[in-house]
Amino acid sequence: MANNGGKSSPLEKAAGLIVDRRKAFYLIYILLIIFSLFSSGWVKVNNNITDYLSEETETRKGVTLMDEEFITYATAEVMVDNISYSDAEELLRELEDTDGVKEIAFDDTTAHYADGAALYSVTFTGEAQDEICETALDEIKEKTADYDVYISAELGDTKADTIAKEMNLVMLIACVIIVVVLLISSRTYMEIPVLILTFGVAAILNKGTNYMFGTISFISNSIAIVLQLALAIDYAIILCHRYIEERQNMEPREAVITALCKAIPEISSSCLTTLSGLLAMSFMQFKIGFDMSIVLIKAIIISILTVFTLMPGLLLSFSGLIDKTHHKNFVPEITKWSNGVVKLRHITPFIFAAVIVGAFFLSNNCPYAYSYTNLTTFTKNESQIAQETIDRTFSKTNVLAVIVPSGDYEKEQLLTKELENYPEVDSVTALASVEAMDGYSVGDMLTPRQFSELTDMDIELVQLVYSAYAAEEENYGRIVGGIDTYKISLIDLFDFVYKVTEDGYVSPDAETQDKINELHDKLEDGKEQLQSMTHTRLVMNLNIPEESEETFEFLNTARDTAKKYYGEDVLLAGNSTSDYDLSTAFVRDNLMITILSILFVLIVLFFTFQSAGLPLILILVIQGSIWINFSFPTLENSPIFFMGYLVVSSIQMGANIDYAIVITNRYTEFRRQMSKYDAIKKSLGLAFPTIFTSGTILAAAGLAIGLLSSDPAISAIGITLGRGTIISIALVMGILPQLLILGDFIIEKTSFNLKDIRKDMRERIMTGGGEDET
């Protein structure tokens, strides 16, 4: 292939270099694959969706502060069914004697024993990521192996391991589907290994380079490879089909070079819309959108580079086998469909208009969920089954933390009592309200006489301790004026007494020393969980759902109550506050995603078709498919995880519009030589194999993710992506051709170059140059 009097263009020279230096590229890719196999182990995965909230949200501030200043011990719920209460007590003693178990809450109330089932609330001696907790849980499983037991706990990488196993199965099924679809749509058998090898390399490189981001979300880590294959495989198909077409008239080397030169502009234009949709996600306030955006954008770029630099060499290396393995076309002809589309052009577009108007309102009333509590998945893992069984037998727990400044135990006690009076609150755990002994709480203020009676310490010794405490606090007025009425909180007194006894300034008897040591250990444990140098954490157990309007209203009530004592320096943190912050961010992100994805894609289409009207028709069809897609949850009254909408709407706009571009490209090309009816029929026939291949793979991959993943966020993305792709294919193959026919006049009037072409064609016809086909 040569232009300009035999001189090669820069693109042809680059293509020739890629083909002729294919062995060097093979070596480069082999080295990159080896590196990626090692570097994929460096990728850190974040399983906590709350971490992707904006740093300005209350939940993120509260969680960050708690992580920095408090210890949150790992917990587990162990339910043993079909057990008597006496046997449950015996089992309790056995479970308590487990290394790594700090304490187990169990009693005869309905919170722990109901309908012949015992619920043990286990607290471990470490945090969720500590190995000792996993070891202790394994030992608990061994001790309860002979019982009908259900265990709910998220320790270590349990969630990541579960998702990884599910995604391995999804990947296997997706690969089978891809091979089957390629067998149907391919022109030679040998092109299938070339395609699989190309994208296998791209997938490995993308997974191996994720380490450059430091940490990625569990969602990105789980579905990136499957979506990469589904979104970008048509780039390789375009190049492969171009090569087979050119091979009919050229030698293998020239055919590869020519095919690559023709495919680069076509593939580059196609991928821009996909990248545009993915780019829109990066502007989400909920940062998991940015996380998915950069991972998938990198995946698309790596896929394109692999197609441009590795696949040409593979095509040439396997050209002999490709030539020998041609087979008949298995893709059915769609002549009847095309004729039907043309005949119904005055009916179905008006039905479509009515449908999308209704879909617009239905999708805007989509029942979104911001937590996993109200969601179900087709596949359930062991932990989900256990949690559902526990929730059916015992009441669900909803924990909310109130974080306030530390140092004023009286305020803390007053706030605790006021919060406990709300009907939505079952209990409040606060350090100042922890019972010390004989009905006294550690936050209570005691005189020397009261403390002496409580601890059985000699009154003179207690007065000496009080005087020493006043001196350390530089409260000399109390020493001079008398300390008999001086009140000090129990927690401060115990700390001070422990300190002076440890330093040897005071020597109580052995029994008193044991009491002091015991109380000190108890208080230190409480402080680690509930009090830092600057903040105190009150933990409430609520009896209201994790996510509901009632719950969101109570958050304001609890916040206002705490502000009465501590002003604006109050933070709430918990699953309910996370849900509230996510719902607030969704309103902004939804609007942002919709506007930016349409705007970015519109700009790409504007320059691709050099038309003002044509892009609007394409956008209308795909946006219509998005509205219809998200009408289903409303019609089914089935909540959908909010992130499914945000992610899928941007992917659907960026990726599914490629199908519309394929038909429209063909139509504008054929419209220059034939009538609009013949042009659309031929366009549909030629575009169908590409749309069938790419669309089937994307829809199947999405549905496989949705049906096989037990994580509600991942499942929601898969189901909606699969369903949305099927809807998009139906509208692109049915409604878009009719809109192109009906809007042909508008397209011509708003096109920057088509008008001149049509004008030249008419002039040629009028002068006898051809038959009027307009």
pLDDT in tens, 49-89: 888 888 888 998 998 899 888 888 889 999 999 999 999 99
650's CB contacts (< 8 A; 6+ apart) are 277, 278, 280, 281, 593, 597
Q: Is 228 exposed, middle or buried (0-12, 13-18, 19+ CB in 10 A)?
A: buried
What gap in Å lies between CA 442 and CA 223, rounded to an integer? 51
For helices 448-455 and 510-530, give the axis angle rounded to 10 degrees.
110
Neighbours of 71 (CB within 10 A): 14
Half-sphere exposure of 451 (CA within 13 A, CB side): 29
**How does residue 32 score in pLDDT terms, banded at 50, 70 and 90?**
very high
Which residue is it, tokens 């009515």? 354
Distance of CA 175 to the CA centre of its chain: 23
For helices 22-39 and 191-208, give the axis angle rounded to 10 degrees.
50
**DSSP-derived secondary structure for 478-530:** HHHH-STT--EEHHHHHHHHHHHHHHTS----HHHHHHHHHHHHHHHHHHHHH
Which residue is it, tokens 């064609």? 761
For residue 753, the model assigns a pLDDT of: 60
What gap in Å lies between CA 441 and CA 443, rounded to an integer? 5
What gap in Å lies between CA 705 and CA 380, rounded to an integer? 13
Task: List phi, psi (to 5°) of 546.
Answer: -65, -35
> What whole-number percentage of the chain has pLDDT above 90?
37
Name the DSSP class of 656.
I
For residue 2, the model assigns a pLDDT of: 46
Half-sphere exposure of 175 (CA within 13 A, CB side): 13
pLDDT digits (tens, 9 = 90+) for 372-411: 887 888 888 888 888 889 988 888 888 999 999 988 888 8
**How does residue 47 score in pLDDT terms, banded at 50, 70 and 90?**
confident
What gap in Å lies between CA 307 and CA 233, rounded to an integer? 9
For helices 218-247 and 158-185, give the axis angle rounded to 10 degrees.
20
pLDDT digits (tens, 9 = 90+) for 731-745: 999 999 999 999 888
Closest Cα to residue 228, out of 160, 263, 269, 278? 278
What gap in Å lies between CA 647 and CA 716, rounded to an integer? 10
User: What are the Cα distances from residue 101, in Å, to 86, 163, 272, 486, 706?
Assistant: 21, 27, 55, 41, 37
Average pLDDT across the chain, whole number: 86
Q: Is 91 exposed, middle or buried (0-12, 13-18, 19+ CB in 10 A)?
A: buried
Neighbours of 670 (CB within 10 A): 18
Which amino acid is located at 169 in the chain? L
Q: Which of 147-156, 178-187, 537-546 has the highest mean pLDDT?
A: 537-546
What gap in Å lies between CA 370 and CA 581, rounded to an integer? 9
pLDDT digits (tens, 9 = 90+) for 612-629: 888 889 999 999 999 999
pLDDT digits (tens, 9 = 90+) for 674-728: 889 999 999 998 888 888 888 888 898 889 989 998 888 889 989 999 999 999 9
Q: In 76-157, where does DSSP find H-type helix?
A: 85-96, 131-143
What gap in Å lies between CA 652 and CA 278, rounded to an integer? 10
Evaluate if residue 321 carries a pLDDT over 80. yes
What gap in Å lies between CA 271 and CA 275, rounded to an integer? 6
Evaluate if residue 537 carries a pLDDT over 80. yes
Q: Label the pairing between strands 368-369 and 640-641.
A: parallel
**How does residue 759 score in pLDDT terms, banded at 50, 70 and 90?**
low
Q: In 330-370, where does DSSP find H-type helix?
A: 335-343, 348-364
What gap in Å lies between CA 705 and CA 144, rounded to an integer? 34
Helices (H) and strands (E) in the chain, counts: 31, 17
What gap in Å lies between CA 483 and CA 488, rounded to an integer? 10
What gap in Å lies between CA 62 and CA 569, rounded to an integer? 11
**How does residue 6 score in pLDDT terms, banded at 50, 70 and 90?**
low
Q: At 536, list the tokens.
A: 């105190």
CA 296, 299, 301, 304 torsion-angle sign: negative
163's CB contacts (< 8 A; 6+ apart) are 218, 222, 709, 710, 711, 714
Taking only Cα atoms into account, the Rg of the chain, rounded to an integer number of angstroms, comes to 34
Closest Cα to residue 229, out of 191, 274, 196? 196
Q: At 742, list the tokens.
A: 């009906």
pLDDT digits (tens, 9 = 90+) for 193-235: 998 899 889 999 999 999 999 889 888 888 888 888 777 877 8
Coil, strand or helix at 699:
helix
Residue 335 or 514, more confident:
335
For residue 156, the model assigns a pLDDT of: 67
CA-based end-to-end distance of the chain: 34
**How does residue 772 score in pLDDT terms, banded at 50, 70 and 90?**
very low
Closest Cα to residue 392, out of 761, 138, 678, 81? 81
Q: At 601, list the tokens.
A: 């894609």
Task: List phi, psi (to 5°) of 339.
Answer: -65, -40
Q: What is the mean pLDDT of residues 277-282?
A: 87
Q: At 548, list the tokens.
A: 């509901």
